[in-house]
Amino acid sequence: MTQYAANTLENQWMPFTANREFKADPRLLVRGQGMYYWNHKGEKIIDASSGLFCVSAGHGRPEIAEAVGKQLLELDYGPPFQMGHPASFEVARRVAALTPDDLNHIFFGNSGSEAVDTALKIAMAYYRARGEGQRQRFVSRERAYHGVNIGGTSMSGLMKNRETFGAVMPGVSHMRHTWLPENRFAKGQPERGAELAEDLQRFVDLFGGHTIAACMVEPIAGSTGILVPPKGYLERLREICDHHGILLIFDEVICGFGRTGKAFAAQSFGVTPDMMTMAKAITNAAQPMGAVAVREGIYETVIDAAPEGAIELFHGYTYSGHPAACAAALATLDIYEKEGLFERAAELSPYFLDAVFALQDVDAISDIRGYGMLAGIDVAPGPIPGVRGQDVMKRLFEAGVYIKFTGDCGLVAPPLVSEKSDIDEICTVIREVLGAV
């Protein structure tokens, strides 16, 4: 085991963490293998959320580690501006082969947040290139999570993530979220709620469709509770977008790479967006990487609008398409293909959903939602929202199960390599722990 000299936790300001509480009673992960983490006390913890929905092929994959090490020794870094290296073009080709229709152009960043802000900027660049620079507005949704950069914060629909940061980016309107009390405990796509897509039409009526650049949604709202789209909802968004020339962007940062049983949720739901953001499982989380897939027409419009020989899009990151991330992505995509993990997710999903939905008789659970290998379990909140969820998360961890909580909702998303016995283990502990709160 690697030993580090630090004997204090004080210097690191931890992200999205109750720093004081954590530092008083830390949960340090020191090892990961397959379905499991080990903490600093040597205890084994099953990973029921694939880290943060990203370690889909399980922890500690030697194929990825070896590919990254080899790449770093061969070419550790090359500037991505006006220079290139072969691996990034190969990742782009492989990803384009997985995306639906003509979403064939891939722009790289290093995270979901960067992918989201990149997609917003591409939408602006596209409309400017078309001479429609008046399209400055964006539409997203309440209970959306689109990362933490200023664009993504503006598009997100979580009060806690926004309230501190003022007005952020102007011109963003939020549709209502799709959680409806009458859909409680609905497995898969709920029957009711397609009409919530009419909120987009209302913004068209209010602002003029010709002023809206794009509508961005997570096909399944992930971080805020696994809100599965009602039947007909995404189809209706697509229709309204088509009618008014609004780009439809799917944020597939969680849904992408097999989580819904197909490469992307766009394919699971049969609705094709104009751009897709992705990150997380693209490298099995072994290296940071985010990307945006863009339709042919959008790419060509922006490229063709610039003078010959000139840079077409003034955007990019020092680490766009970093060689190590690309090596990790290629090794990961090989694993997905060789092990048929997207198909495996589709096969395992009914067992997984049945096991999770069987928990609905537990008193402390007020709702369960799920699709593919994703499920949200709402714990009935106490007087202060989120406190009970935090308490349950800690109890589960102590009982040997890691589940990511957002507020009072546990987000269960086991690796796609899970066995049925792993799912049983997770659900047994959830029942024990939640049965006792």
Ligand X SMILES: Cc1ncc(COP(=O)(O)O)c(C=O)c1O
Interface residues toward ligand X, by CB under 6 A: 52, 111-113, 116, 145-147, 218, 222-223, 251, 253-254, 279
Q: Which two tokens stand for residue 340?
A: 């048929």
Nearest approach, Cβ of residue 217 and ligand X (Å): 9
Closest CA to 254 of 372, 107, 343, 405: 372
> Whose Cβ is closer to ligand X: residue 118's or residue 425's?
118
- Cβ neighbours for 321, distance < 8 A, ≥ 6 positions apart: 80, 85, 87, 88, 91, 92, 108
> Exposed, middle or buried: residue 8 (CB in 10 Å: 0-12, 13-18, 19+)?
exposed
Nearest approach, Cβ of residue 94 and ligand X (Å): 20
Nearest approach, Cβ of residue 423 and ligand X (Å): 22
> Whose Cβ is closer to ligand X: residue 193's or residue 288's?
288
> Whose Cβ is closer to ligand X: residue 91's or residue 427's?
91
Closest CA to 405 of 436, 433, 428: 433
Nearest approach, Cβ of residue 389 and ligand X (Å): 17
> Whose Cβ is closer to ligand X: residue 214's or residue 429's?
214
Nearest approach, Cβ of residue 218 and ligand X (Å): 5
> Exposed, middle or buried: residue 198 (CB in 10 Å: 0-12, 13-18, 19+)?
middle
Q: What is the β-pairing status of strands 290-295 and 103-109?
A: antiparallel
Q: Which residue is nearest to ligand X (CB)?
A: 112
Nearest approach, Cβ of residue 363 and ligand X (Å): 30
> Whose Cβ is closer to ligand X: residue 147's or residue 190's?
147
> Exposed, middle or buried: residue 167 (CB in 10 Å: 0-12, 13-18, 19+)?
exposed
> Whose Cβ is closer to ligand X: residue 408's or residue 425's?
408
Quote the distance between the C-alpha of residue 186 and its chain's center.
Answer: 22
Closest CA to 357 of 375, 340, 339: 375
